[in-house]
Amino acid sequence: MEKRIVLPGERIADGRINAPNTYYRENGTYTAVIGTLDNENRFVPLETAYKPFVGDTVIGMVLDVRHAGYEVDLNLPEGGFIPTRDTKITLQLGDFVYCKIKSVNEVGDVDLGEVRRLPKGKIIEFPTSKVPRLIGRKSSMINMLKERAGGEIMVGNNGYVWISEKSDIPLLLKAIGIIRAKAHKSGLTDEIARLLER
């Protein structure tokens, strides 16, 4: 399948189609960010700024402990909030958490729920537009990474990736770096498999 890179302002359809990262003007739908366009006019963005949605699973770090709850860094302009009354676990400053977005209001304030504390590890940033590629079809890529590196990995929709301290961190960082650089190309799973076998 042939893909070409298109810039913002490229007309991809006549009339209005409901696709993220596009906008409508003069009876046509136009791209709003850089992305790839294939033969069937499917637009896949290459680079986007993360916008939180209800139901997204996110990874964050506890920034502030308050009486009413915890403030969590989510790689967003504003931190997310975990109300104390909704969670049974107690968290400490600097804890890594894995949670679901319960609500987002119109100015982007995020409330979190279903909180899990993550054990010791490392959090790295990953471009949010490439998160689907890091997870892979039916979690194939992430399962392969977990298996070969011998430890847990968690990926949040917000672009934070948590790696357990028990896994082979240098190898994982290298693999994730390749996924980041070649996310829009085909044959990526094979290349990562070859890297991890060595």
Partner 1 sequence: MGGQNVQLIVDGKRLDGRKPDEMRNIRIEAGVIPEADGSAFIEWGGNKIICGVYGPRECIPRHGANPYKATVKCRYMMSPFASLDEHGRSGPSRRSNELSKVIREVFENLIIAEKFPNTQIDIFIDVLQAEGGTRTASVTAAAVALVNAGIPMKDMVSAVASGKAGDVLLVDLGKEEDNFGQSDMPIAMSHSDKNIQLLQMDGLLTKDEIAQMLDQVEKGCDELNEKQADALKRFYERGEEEKFEW
Do β-strands 22-25 and 57-65 pair in parallel, antiparallel, or remain unpaired?
unpaired
Could you say which DSSP state residue 42 is in? -
Residue 60 or residue 98: which is nearer to partner 1 going by CB?
60
Least distance in Å: CB of 46 to partner 1?
6
For the CB of residue 117, give the shortest distance to partner 1 in the complex, in Å.
26
Q: What is the DSSP letter of 176?
A: H
Per DSSP, 123 falls in state E
Whichever of 50 and 98 has its CB closer to partner 1, that residue is 50
Query: Least distance to partner 1 from the beta carbon of 76, Å?
Result: 9
Whole-number minimum distance, CB 45 to partner 1, in Å?
A: 7
The residues binding partner 1 (CB under 8 A) are: 5, 7-11, 21, 23, 25-26, 30, 32-34, 45-49, 51, 77-78, 106-108, 127, 129, 177-178, 180-182, 184
Q: How far apart are CA 63 and CA 73, in angstroms?
A: 6
Which residue's CB is nearer to partner 1, number 47 or number 114?
Answer: 47
Number of C-alpha atoms within 13 angstroms, CB side, residue 8? 7
- Beta bridge partners of residue 98, listed in sequence order: 59, 116
